[in-house]
Structure 1
């Protein structure tokens, strides 16, 4: 019998068929403006990041995909360049073409949902990277022909080529087929480099684990999801809303908030601009330092 993974605090993300019907009825009654989308950066620093092996940088490709350069390593998070997600067409073009990026040293996968794990994209990733995946996912990678795959459980830490990779809890779930519900885990990754510690949160609802992560680590940059939260009665266990994402950031004690997981795919009823508006409104309401919030355009690079 296959192992089934669970959340902290016994939080279940299971929804009934009745819940799905209720959500679909709500969705049909909502009118959303999809004509305004998250903008592309007018400046693409392709040559700089291709040649860089010494400075810390991060580039938002879109959704939960970041290209990170840390301690001389090239890292990709949840690489997804897919033009469709189910019946939905991608709303915004990836910030850089996969072909424009250099060879990768590390690829991390937060969980098995298709908007975070896209094998057609992985086939096109340059180089021969080391994959770090949640417990339960390695067998699928091996079946697909990948050999450099390390599985991690929550709180595992691995030294790799001058950085330390930690796998930390998140509150979510996963499924790729009708029979594999929660047979692999989910979580976030913390990268400890020479000059900075970065936290890629992955996909999550708000949960008590943020406080514990903040106690265990001194975190610089936090790549935090803010979208796919509406309707909140349905989504809140799995997807954090913008206000709670700020609450989580403060509990983590991070230095820089970089929002993600909005604007690329319509996975729920909120739009990318709505998520960003709620985030900035709450940030301003709390009078938090503007210098600690880094809202990126798609394809924007911070070095």
Structure 2
């Protein structure tokens, strides 16, 4: 048990402590060129200054981890899920854009006949270890082996809950192209992905596609998979435009003015996939509260909002269902069309949002009667 505690402490350093180390870096940088990322002395930087943290604050997070009791961090019963078959995917209309929620931030798209994956994580744990770390609340609705050939895999950044070595290696032979932030190609090369299949992106860089274009856009976050590689690769979000239909995929981000810039440049968006989960008062610069996530959607000039980054892994101190409850409240107050499909549900872009609050049927009987924003 003592060994597990210390290994867990290492995970906290990787998942949370790295935020502190990298926040200290995110103050000043040298621009490579207009509209591109900030890069200096081998490190990438955020455009917005983030307040440096201290070792005292890191120690406080460790103390919280060991002493603070988590309430309802993990569901008490299996969550709902639709299994998806290759046959179902093949039969989807090639003249539309279809969306399948795979869990956490992983999305499968069928874009006019082409299959694309966004931040695919199929592993049991979002962790550098196979035996410990945040474990899935539910399986994926389809296995990698059962997937059809994949035209594009889009990666937002290299954290374990977004860039999964296990998944990338399994996808290698069935994927035509991997689109990744600057610096991430080296990871894929180590995992056996041919460099001819990988294209790296800087912020605001675009790629023409069959029916439109893809653009890599800024976020306020950080990168790193170990203690010695903080901010050596870039992080960001994706804009997808195809036949005048537009999608936005946030990856991970703290709230910042860049959402308005993206909205002005590429909006309005038919649907936004916005990070809504794993927030906390101890790392407010790199993850958004649900209230900020809703504001980001408004800044982007989005029509329908799909909250992601929740309901699959325990990555913070809040209850597993809290992000969904809080974003539902915000969407209702601001008359935002909220889309909350269950895992494996197949949707078609352009159809009405599914706003069924499915999670409320799985919340514990001991849940608090009200949820209060704590950060």
Structure 1 length as normaliser, TM-score?
Answer: 0.91
- More relative contact order in 1 or in 2 (CA 8 Å, sep 6+)? 1
User: Structure 1 residues 114, 42: closer, same or farther in 2, change over 3 A?
Assistant: closer
CA contact (8 A) 2:70 2:319 kept: no
CA contact (8 A) 2:82 2:141 kept: no
User: Structure 1 residues 100, 246: closer, same or farther in 2, change over 3 A?
Assistant: same
Residue 57 of structure 2 aligns with which residue? Answer: 19
Shift of 1:207: 0.7
CA-to-aligned-CA distance 1:105-150 (integer Å, 9 cap, x gap) = 0001100111111121112226232111111112222233322111
Shift of 1:24: 3.0
The DSSP-based 3-state class of the residue aligned with 1:23 is helix
CA-to-aligned-CA distance 1:126-181 (integer Å, 9 cap, x gap) = 62321111111122222333221111110001113333110000010011122211
User: Structure 1 residues 187, 38: closer, same or farther in 2, change over 3 A?
Assistant: farther
User: Structure 1 residues 91, 216: closer, same or farther in 2, change over 3 A?
Assistant: same
Residue 93 of structure 1 aligns with which residue? Answer: 139
1:182 aligned to 2:237? Answer: no
Separation of aligned partners in 2, 1:42 and 1:4: 42
CA contact (8 A) 1:263 1:271 kept: no
The DSSP-based 3-state class of the residue aligned with 1:124 is helix
Separation of aligned partners in 2, 1:46 and 1:224: 27
Separation of aligned partners in 2, 1:61 and 1:294: 15
Residue 50 of structure 1 aligns with which residue? Answer: 90
Equivalenced residue count is 297
Indicate the structure (1 or 2) with the bigger Cα radius of gyration: 2
Separation of aligned partners in 2, 1:37 and 1:251: 36
User: Structure 1 residues 67, 228: closer, same or farther in 2, change over 3 A?
Assistant: same
Residue 261 of structure 2 aligns with which residue? Answer: 212
Residue 265 of structure 1 aligns with which residue? Answer: 313
User: Structure 1 residues 72, 165: closer, same or farther in 2, change over 3 A?
Assistant: same
Shift of 1:36: 4.2
Separation of aligned partners in 2, 1:293 and 1:299: 17
CA contact (8 A) 1:197 1:221 kept: yes
Structure 2 length as normaliser, TM-score?
Answer: 0.74
CA contact (8 A) 2:276 2:307 kept: yes
Shift of 1:272: 2.6
Separation of aligned partners in 1, 2:244 and 2:147: 23
Shift of 1:208: 0.7
1:144 aligned to 2:191? Answer: yes
User: Structure 1 residues 195, 44: closer, same or farther in 2, change over 3 A?
Assistant: farther
Separation of aligned partners in 2, 1:250 and 1:270: 24
CA-to-aligned-CA distance 1:256-302 (integer Å, 9 cap, x gap) = 1011001111111123311101111122223x14xx21011111110
Structure 1: any 5+ residue segments left out of the alignment?
A: none
User: Structure 1 residues 139, 259: closer, same or farther in 2, change over 3 A?
Assistant: same
Residue 202 of structure 1 aligns with which residue? Answer: 251
Residue 112 of structure 1 aligns with which residue? Answer: 158
CA contact (8 A) 2:82 2:343 kept: no
Separation of aligned partners in 1, 2:81 and 2:135: 21
Residue 171 of structure 1 aligns with which residue? Answer: 220
Q: 1:249 aligns with which of 290, 297, 302?
A: 297
Shift of 1:8: 1.4
CA-to-aligned-CA distance 1:34-81 (integer Å, 9 cap, x gap) = 234783234646523233333210101001100011133211011111
